[in-house]
Structure 1
C-alpha cells in the first residue's frame, strides 16, 4: 500500500502496555485483528533488514526480512509492537504495529459553559489499562481546529478529563451548525477512535445565576455573565426557597425576580428555556437575616 511508504504508526491491538511514543506520527494505517498486512521500508540502498518485536522474532528470522517488504499474516496482539528496517548505511526507520479495536471502547461526554464559549469540557473513560496518547480534533462550518495531543497517565483514575478548543462560530447560527469531533487514543500496542457529532444546545450546562439578593420582600438575580446575547438564549430559572416555618417551595420562572416573605434561605439555578438541557449548578445558598 502506498500509505506505508512514509511509515508512521500502523495500528493493531489490545495487549499489556509497555511504552508509548512521545507524539503522534504524521502517517499511520489501521489493521483489524486477524487480517494480514505488508510493511514496506522507505529506505534506499542495499542491505535492507528488519528488526521485529520480541514476540514476533520468528518473522524476522526468515530470509524474507532481507527484502524491502515484510509480510505479516494473521495479525494478533503478540505481533504488535515496534518494527524497524535498516540499510547498509546504518539508516533506520521504525513503525508501531497496533490493532484497531474500533469505536466501542470510547465512552466520551462533553459539555459547554454557554452557547458562546469556545471551549468544550470533556470526560472520557480510559479505554486502556496503562499510559496512552490522546488526540482530538474539532470541526465546524468546514473549518478544522488543529489537533490537540495529550498523554493519558497510568493511575487509579478511570476517568480522564480534557478541554478542546472549538473553531470560531457565530452563536446565532449554532443551531444550524453541528460540532464534529474526532477522538483517537493509542498506546504502544493499541488503538481506538471515535467520531462525535452534536449540537451546542444539547450539551450546554449553563453557569450559575449571579447576584442573588433579597430586598424588601423580593428575591432578585441576574443572568450568568456568559450570556451577552440574552435575546438569542433566554433562560428558565428555578429557585428553592426555605421559609422561616421550614416550609420549602420550588418555583420555576422566566423572570429574574420572585416575591416572598419570611424567607430563610434561597438558591437559584437555570437552563435553556426552550431546550431541556442540563441545569446549571445551584447558586451558593443565600441566608437571609431575620
Structure 2
C-alpha cells in the first residue's frame, strides 16, 4: 500500500462560502437531483439559501426533495426544518464542465519536501486537496460521478486530513504543501499526485496534476556576494541560498556569474564545485544565479547587482 499524505485547504473570497460545506451534492446541469433530509421525521419544510420560496421547481416527498432540471439559479444551500428547528442542510451545486482548474503548477526552492502550488479557478471558491505518491502506470484519479453526496475528503483508511490556509486573488489561487515522507537523499521513483476539489456558489470542479519534486526545484538566489581586490585580481565570493539543503558536497550547485565591464559589455562565466572565483577584468558590477546541475532544475532568480566600480585590472 502506498503511503498517503492528505492535505486540505480553503480559500474564502465571498461571504457565501468561507469553507467547504459539511455536506454537499453535485448534480448534472438540467437533470433532476434528489436532496435527502437526514431525519426520522416524515414531513419537513424546505428553504433555499434561507428563503422559504426557493428559486427552483421542486417536488417534495416527505424527507426527499427533488429539484427538477437543475440550473444555476437552483443551486445553493437547501435546509430542512421542523417548525423552527433546523434538521439538516445540503449545499447543491452543478458539476463543472472541465473549464475550471487550469494552469496548475508547483515550485520548490530545495529538496526538503516543501513546495508551493498555484492554479486557476472560479473567483468565488473554496478548495481542498489530497497529496499522494503515485505509481507511474496509474491513471489520474477520475472526477467523482454526479450527482453524489460529499462530506470530508478521506484517506483510503477513512482518516481525515487537516485544513491549512491558502490565498486567492482574481481567480488565481496558491497554497504551500509539505510531503513529510519525502527524503532528499533517496532516489525519487514515483511522482507526487495533487488532486484538487473546488466548490463555488454554483459549481463543483476537480482536477489533478502529477510531478517529481526534482522537476519543480528552482533554487533561491545565492547570497552574500562580496568582491575585493587582492594581488591585482578581483576576488568574488558568495554563499548558497539559505534554503538550500546541506551538505554542500552532496547538494552541489552550478553558479552563473554575470559581470559588466566599464563599456557596458556583459560577460558570463560559470563556476561549479566552489563558491569563489577571481577575475582580471576591470568590472563595474556583478550578479549571480545558480542551478542544480544534476536535475531538470531551473535557474534561480538573479541576486541583486553588486556595484564594484572600476575595480580590477585589465587582462594581462
Alignment TM-score, normalising by the size of structure 2: 0.72
Question: Quick check: 2:107–2:116 contact (8 Å CA) kept in 1?
Answer: yes
- In the TM superposition, residue 47 of structure 1 has moved relative to its aligned partner by 2.4
> Are residues 119 and 151 of structure 1, via their aligned partners in 2, closer, same or farther at CA, if it must alter by over 3 Å?
closer
Matching of residue 258 in structure 1 with residue 256 in structure 2 = no
Greater length-normalized contact order (CA 8 Å, ≥ 6 residues apart): 2
Quick one: distance in 2 between partners of 1:46 and 1:169? Answer: 52
> Are residues 161 and 43 of structure 1, via their aligned partners in 2, closer, same or farther at CA, if it must alter by over 3 Å?
same
Provide structure 2 residue ranges, at least 5 long, that are not aligned to the other structure.
Answer: 1-12, 136-154, 312-316
Quick one: distance in 2 between partners of 1:243 and 1:165? Answer: 43
SS in 2 for 1:176: coil
> Are residues 187 and 202 of structure 1, via their aligned partners in 2, closer, same or farther at CA, if it must alter by over 3 Å?
same
Matching of residue 138 in structure 1 with residue 131 in structure 2 = yes
Q: CA RMSD in A?
A: 3.0
The residue number in structure 2 matching 1:183 is: 196
2:163 to 145, 148, 162: 148
Question: Quick check: 2:254–2:293 contact (8 Å CA) kept in 1?
Answer: yes
Question: Quick check: 1:136–1:147 contact (8 Å CA) kept in 2?
Answer: no
Aligned pair count? 265
2:46 to 47, 50, 62: 50
- In the TM superposition, residue 150 of structure 1 has moved relative to its aligned partner by 4.5
> Are residues 174 and 42 of structure 1, via their aligned partners in 2, closer, same or farther at CA, if it must alter by over 3 Å?
farther
Alignment TM-score, normalising by the size of structure 1: 0.78
Higher mean alpha-carbon deviation, 276-285 vs 230-239, is at 230-239
The residue number in structure 2 matching 1:85 is: 80
Counting only pairs closer than 5 Å after superposition, residues 18-33 of structure 1 correspond to structure 2 as: 19-33=15-29
> Are residues 44 and 174 of structure 1, via their aligned partners in 2, closer, same or farther at CA, if it must alter by over 3 Å?
farther
Quick one: distance in 2 between partners of 1:274 and 1:151? Answer: 32
- In the TM superposition, residue 191 of structure 1 has moved relative to its aligned partner by 1.9
Matching of residue 283 in structure 1 with residue 307 in structure 2 = no
Quick one: distance in 1 between partners of 2:255 and 2:166? Answer: 40
Counting only pairs closer than 5 Å after superposition, residues 61-80 of structure 1 correspond to structure 2 as: 64-80=59-75
SS in 2 for 1:85: strand
Question: Quick check: 2:166–2:175 contact (8 Å CA) kept in 1?
Answer: no
More helix by share: 1
SS in 2 for 1:169: coil
SS in 2 for 1:202: helix
Quick one: distance in 2 between partners of 1:141 and 1:173? Answer: 16
The residue number in structure 2 matching 1:249 is: 267
SS in 2 for 1:78: helix
**CA deviation vs aligned residue, 1:93-124 (integer Å, no higher than 9, x gap):** 111110121543113222111111x4322223
Deviant stretches of 4+, over 4 Å = 53-58, 149-153
The residue number in structure 1 matching 2:237 is: 220
Quick one: distance in 2 between partners of 1:277 and 1:150? Answer: 28
Provide structure 1 residue ranges, at least 5 long, that are not aligned to the other structure.
Answer: 1-16
Quick one: distance in 1 between partners of 2:270 and 2:167? Answer: 42
Matching of residue 111 in structure 1 with residue 128 in structure 2 = no
SS in 2 for 1:201: helix
Counting only pairs closer than 5 Å after superposition, residues 191-210 of structure 1 correspond to structure 2 as: 191-210=204-223
The residue number in structure 1 matching 2:148 is: none
> Are residues 22 and 245 of structure 1, via their aligned partners in 2, closer, same or farther at CA, if it must alter by over 3 Å?
closer
Quick one: distance in 1 between partners of 2:302 and 2:167? Answer: 32
Question: Quick check: 1:23–1:149 contact (8 Å CA) kept in 2?
Answer: no
More strand by share: 2
Quick one: distance in 2 between partners of 1:241 and 1:69? Answer: 73
